[in-house]
A and B are shown apart, each in its own frame.
Chain A
Amino acid sequence: MEDFNAIMRLKRGDISGLETLVRKYQTDALHTAYLMLQDQALAEDIVQNTFLRLYQRIEHFDETRPFKPYLMKSVTNAAIEQLRRNKWVVSFDDNAEGLSLAELLPADEPYPEDEMEQAELREGVKLALGQLPPEQQATIILTYFHGLSVNEVAIATETSQGTVKWRLHAARKQLGVYLRQFWTGGLWL
């Protein structure tokens, strides 16, 4: 109801509606954009511009639809566009064919307790994420960071559930390859 009221206020030109939406969703939106772009300033720009576009096009927004998936779709689309413009994305590594994430990195491997190892893991995941095609990055982040279901990710990325499953499969496999290469010192970025 809070989102609905905020959107209706915004449709009447009352920017307090936009403020409500910004304050409620800016953190989730920024986290999503940052995980994809790995650049805070760029991520902030993406999020700010997404809210500004929402403001400009609010007349066309159906207030009965849930707002968060719409926002996440806008943020990930903008981030994908940015990645396509500015970043060379390496192609899928054929060596990963046929191997699952679990096979590449055992699922029972404990999360490191040591701070140095945690920092190393963070860097590894960031570097590996950065190597994924933008659509796969978005799928991984919406699934494993935001905890969205396959159906919700399909809505947010405007694609079919089958495509989401395929992207998850491919992304997991590729992440595994990159993470392994990272830890064995073989990944040059």
Chain B
Amino acid sequence: MNKDNLNRALHEIVEHDLPKEIDMWQQIEAKLPKQNKPRGVLRLATAPIAASIVVMLLVLGTASYAMWGPGGGKRDKGLDGAEQAGLFTEINQTVMLEDLEITVTEGYADTQRIAISFEIDEESFDPDADFFFAQLRDQAGNQFMESSGAYGPNRIDLVFSTQILKVDEDGNLIFDQDFSANYMHNIGESVDLELQLYLVDSWMFNVEMDEYRATAFFKFTLPISHAETVEVNQSLSINDITVTVETLKLAPSQSLLTMCYTLPDGQDWQPVTSLTLDGELAQLDGLRLSHLPSPEDTERCMELSFNVFYDQSPSDIVFTVEKLKLSPNEGPAPEYWNEVVRILAEEYDIEVEFVFDEGRGQRLDEISRPDGMADDIFWQTILQAQDDASPGVDGPWIFEISAE
């Protein structure tokens, strides 16, 4: 047997023994700590598929919108406040992408986020054939990486974080932590931007950049609203759990809080948090783990971003950790799954069965659901029931913070 035949035999083995189509994403996703998924708003940024979803949502209406959380259909609180305070800058540039008329209407930038709004001429828009995604760069070619989105009648907002990829000498985009962290702080009072929209044929996974039908550029300058940083450094201990708030960065459209807490044990415990700014409840946008505990180190640190408008005047801020909840992905304890089944039946009229599959975890078998309940609502309810059934460590840990 020569090398070629061995290679052929090995390939024939996997082709013969394994299914052609393999998709393990759902099983992997089900095992992830749920809290680490982005919440509240759709994240789309550099992922073309997500950008396409924004367009899809525009035409599907509120039934699908619920999938993406309570803030959709309009801007989030932070950007809404910034717009009402007159911090958005008019752009009003119109281009034709084939027969599709697109107008970039206005934009906003602070040290946390950049938001750009545009309108689509609905009459020429074909939701079955027209999808697009966007890239935002500065004039040097550095590219803003991450974004979320919101939609409204005839309008789409793209929201980019100010994390930025740096273009190196060879023209490649690289991530430089220092460059990214300091970029918006060092650039001055305004940023020159180039938005590139790509029109593509269909809602595809892994669409390649060179597969677009048409593309358009918009160039504009946005003033930057800078953030204030409050050094909080407060710790509270309740039920043997210490929670520490380190810093709070207040940009007009978003507040970024850094907190740490001790884990009760080696399992995945997640904080249930809220933040109010002068009584206004902020929307949790997402979180980023900044310190992962090792078996010897049970402290976990994270950055939480909250969408709320900060008018740059003295404010009273309250950050609360209501409780720590054990991730539903921790352990297939039968009583936990029984409780999920009970909650679903009694509170939501959903009948399901969880079957433990050795080596693969829990499998959910649906028995019945209320008439007309859409899939996204159904799955959202399942997750909610899992959340409700999770064991927890009660707080609350309440931090009162003043921004002078």
Nearest A residue to B1 via CB reads A105
Q: How far is the CB of B331 from chain A (nearest CB, A)?
A: 15
How many Å lie between the Cα of A14 and that of B37 in the bound state? 6
Chain B 39-72 per-residue mask, 1 if CB under 8 angstroms from chain A, else 0: 0000101110010000000000000000000000
Q: Which of A13, A27, A119 contacts B289 (CB 8 A)?
A: A13
How many Å lie between the Cα of A26 and that of B32 in the bound state? 17
- Tell me if A118 and B18 are in contact (CB < 8 A): no
Chain B 1-34 per-residue mask, 1 if CB under 8 angstroms from chain A, else 0: 1111111111111101110001111011101100
How many Å lie between the Cα of A5 and that of B173 in the bound state? 9
A102 CB–B CB distance under 8 Å: yes
- Tell me if A19 and B29 are in contact (CB < 8 A): yes
Q: Which of B27, B175, B206 contacts A8 (CB 8 A)?
A: B175
Interface size on A, residues (CB 8 A): 60
Chain A 42-60 per-residue mask, 1 if CB under 8 angstroms from chain B, else 0: 1011011001100111010
Nearest B residue to A180 via CB reads B1
Q: Which of B22, B163, B287, B290 contacts A27 (CB 8 A)?
A: B22
- Tell me if B9 and A42 are in contact (CB < 8 A): no
- Tell me if A26 and B23 are in contact (CB < 8 A): yes
Nearest A residue to B357 via CB reads A41
Chain A residues with Cβ below 8 Å from B17 are 34, 40
Q: How far is the CB of A120 from chain B (nearest CB, A)?
A: 11
How many Å lie between the Cα of A64 and that of B43 in the bound state? 24
Interface size on B, residues (CB 8 A): 53
A165 CB–B CB distance under 8 Å: no
Q: How far is the CB of B166 from chain A (nearest CB, A)?
A: 12
- Tell me if B360 and A35 are in contact (CB < 8 A): no
How many Å lie between the Cα of A111 and that of B4 in the bound state? 9
- Tell me if A47 and B24 are in contact (CB < 8 A): yes
- Tell me if A118 and B47 are in contact (CB < 8 A): no
Q: How far is the CB of B298 from chain A (nearest CB, A)?
A: 15
Chain A residues with Cβ below 8 Å from B163 are 8, 12
- Tell me if A23 and B288 are in contact (CB < 8 A): no
- Tell me if B173 and A145 are in contact (CB < 8 A): no
How many Å lie between the Cα of A8 and that of B289 in the bound state? 13
- Tell me if B6 and A18 are in contact (CB < 8 A): no
A31 CB–B CB distance under 8 Å: yes
Chain A residues with Cβ below 8 Å from B32 are 15, 18, 52, 55
Q: How far is the CB of B32 from chain A (nearest CB, A)?
A: 6
Q: Which of A15, A26, A126, A147 contacts B22 (CB 8 A)?
A: A26
Chain A residues with Cβ below 8 Å from B214 are none
How many Å lie between the Cα of A44 and that of B10 in the bound state? 18
- Tell me if A35 and B14 are in contact (CB < 8 A): yes
Nearest B residue to A122 via CB reads B13
Interface residues in A105-154 by Cβ distance below 8 A to B read 105, 107-109, 111, 118-119, 121-122, 125-126, 140-141, 144-145, 147
Q: Which of B9, B24, B38, B175 contacts A44 (CB 8 A)?
A: B24
Most chain A CB inside 10 Å of its own CB: which residue of B5, B286, B287: B5
How many Å lie between the Cα of A175 and that of B24 in the bound state? 32
A160 CB–B CB distance under 8 Å: no
Chain B residues with Cβ below 8 Å from A44 are 24, 27, 359-360
- Tell me if A19 and B25 are in contact (CB < 8 A): yes
Give 17 A-B contacts (CB < 8 Å), ordered by A residue.
Answer: A1-B172, A9-B146, A12-B286, A14-B286, A15-B36, A16-B47, A19-B29, A22-B24, A26-B25, A30-B18, A42-B359, A44-B27, A51-B28, A63-B175, A141-B10, A176-B1, A179-B1
